[in-house]
Amino acid sequence: MNLWRTTRTWFDSHSGWLNSDWAKLDAEELEGTFENCQKTINQTFRFFKDRDMPKVFDIAAKMKKEIDIFKPVVPIAVALRRDGMKDRHWDAIKSESGIDFDPYDEHFNLQKVIDVGLTEHFGICDEVGEKAAKEYHIEKSLAKMKKEWDGL
């Protein structure tokens, strides 16, 4: 039962993650769903491996392979969808990676991230994404402080 439910969840989610509008991609949801699918598929793969059910095992093996292939994409999605990503951050990624892309293009999505090769530059993307998130939280804190001080 878990194999079928997880397979359905994977196919429903995977296509959406790859092809949805970049601004609407929820990387935290992606990460959570991915981890749940990976855990369940790994369990079912091990379960059916020693059973005399070759067709079911083949499906579990195929799902495991698809999930394993997608695994390196998850952290890049999380890194690039952090709060606070601004033009300067995207420019830094483009400059350091040597890849030219437009994150504001209406066709930019996770599939485009993969196609242009950003998964090969995870370190750069993670570093810049983390910097953007820290700057964003500092900016929010400063704005909150200014608002609190305005009344004094």
Residues 96 and 64 in one domain: no
Domain boundary among 16, 40, 71: 71
Residues 25 and 57 in one domain: yes
Q: Which of 3-7, 28-32, 43-47 has the highest mean pLDDT?
A: 28-32
Domain boundary among 51, 71, 91: 71
Total tally of structural domains belonging to the chain: 2
| Domain span holding position 31 | 1-71
Tell me the percentage of the chain whose pLDDT exceeds 90: 79
Residues 40 and 91 in one domain: no
pLDDT in tens, 92-150: 999 999 999 999 999 999 999 999 999 999 999 999 999 999 999 999 999 889 888 88
Residue 59 forms part of a structural domain: yes
Residues 7-33, mean pLDDT to the nearest whole number: 94
Read off the CATH number of the domain in which 87 is found: 1.10.287
From 72, 57, 59, select the one nearest 119 (Cα to Cα).
72
Q: pTM (2 decimals)?
A: 0.85
Tell me the percentage of the chain whose pLDDT exceeds 70: 99
Asked if residues 66 and 13 have their Cβ atoms less than 8 Å apart, the reply is no
Residue 63 buriedness (CB in 10 A; 0-12 / 13-18 / 19+): buried
pLDDT in tens, 65-95: 999 999 999 999 999 999 999 999 999 999 9
Residues 53 and 102 in one domain: no
* Cβ neighbours, 10 Å, residue 90: 17
1 pLDDT higher than 70: no
Residue 78 forms part of a structural domain: no
